[in-house]
């Protein structure tokens, strides 16, 4: 009975983490979408919705601590619970980046962007694909899959470097666009940091599977 309850608790927590990840992913996609749509109401809803994701994280944290305190898990079970705690925190940070992008969209206002949004949506889709695949690795417990997902972060880094160079060129050609350029630079930076957070998630999945903490990037 003890073992069954522990396994059930861990399984339920993983499910909640996957649900939380889905919400964070939808927030990120929505935040990038409003950059093009200039939908102020949608941007405000995204900012407000971040609190729901924060609440999910607190709930996951409380359940993890309760299981650790009452059932005293060891070895792989303890690693799984500690990893779930860390992964929930990383997902909450990803949601914060989405909120940041929505706030930047609000700061830009209704004014049309002078710089075309081509690479940023591509970068966002790659980040979202990484996030989804990391959850598949979490559910399956596959260390190999976690490594494969983490390896995709190099493509995110390269896209960020490309975007930053393009933005610098844009500013050098027309200094009047510096405010917009700074905002677009921060959007790309937020997406790059989201990729780094997903690598951290993959490292925790690897830790659960192997018992070793090591960098995968």
Q: Give the pLDDT confidence of 47-80 residue by residue, as tens digits.
A: 999 999 999 999 999 999 999 888 887 788 899 9
Q: Which helix H or strand E contains 112, and what residues bound it?
A: none
Structure tokens at 102: 């929505």
Name the fold adopted by 2-210.
Methane Monooxygenase Hydroxylase; Chain G, domain 1 (1.20.58)
- Assess contact for 94 and 28: CB atoms under 8 A: yes
Residue 164, Cβ density class (10 Å: 0-12 exposed, 13-18 middle, ≥19 buried): middle
Q: Percent of the chain beyond pLDDT 70?
A: 94
pLDDT at 115 over 80: no
Mapping DSSP to helix (H, G, I), strand (E, B) and coil, where does residue 211 land? coil
Binned at pLDDT 50, 70 and 90, residue 28 comes out as very high
pLDDT of 2 above 60: no
């Amino acid at each position: 009975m003890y073992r069954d309850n522990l396994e059930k608790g861990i399984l339920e927590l993983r499910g909640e983490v996957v649900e939380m990840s889905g919400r964070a992913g939808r927030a990120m996609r929505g935040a990038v979408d409003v950059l093009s749509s200039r939908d102020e109401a949608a941007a405000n809803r995204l900012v407000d919705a971040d609190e729901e994701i924060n609440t999910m994280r607190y709930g996951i944290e409380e359940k993890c601590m309760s299981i650790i305190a009452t059932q005293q898990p060891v070895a792989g079970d303890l690693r799984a619970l500690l990893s779930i705690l860390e992964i929930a925190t990383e997902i909450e940070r990803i949601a914060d980046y989405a909120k940041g992008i929505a706030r930047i969209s609000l700061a830009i206002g209704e004014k049309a962007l002078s710089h075309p949004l081509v690479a940023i949506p591509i970068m966002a889709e790659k980040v979202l694909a990484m996030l989804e695949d990391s959850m598949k690795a979490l559910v399956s417990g596959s260390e190999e899959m976690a490594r494969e997902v983490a390896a995709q972060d190099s493509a995110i880094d390269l896209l960020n470097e490309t975007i930053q160079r393009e933005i610098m060129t844009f500013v050098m050609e027309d200094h009047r666009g510096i405010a917009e350029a700074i905002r677009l630079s921060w959007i790309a930076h937020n997406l790059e940091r989201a990729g780094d957070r997903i690598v951290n998630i993959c490292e925790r999945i690897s830790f659960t599977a192997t018992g070793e903490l090591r960098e995968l990037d």
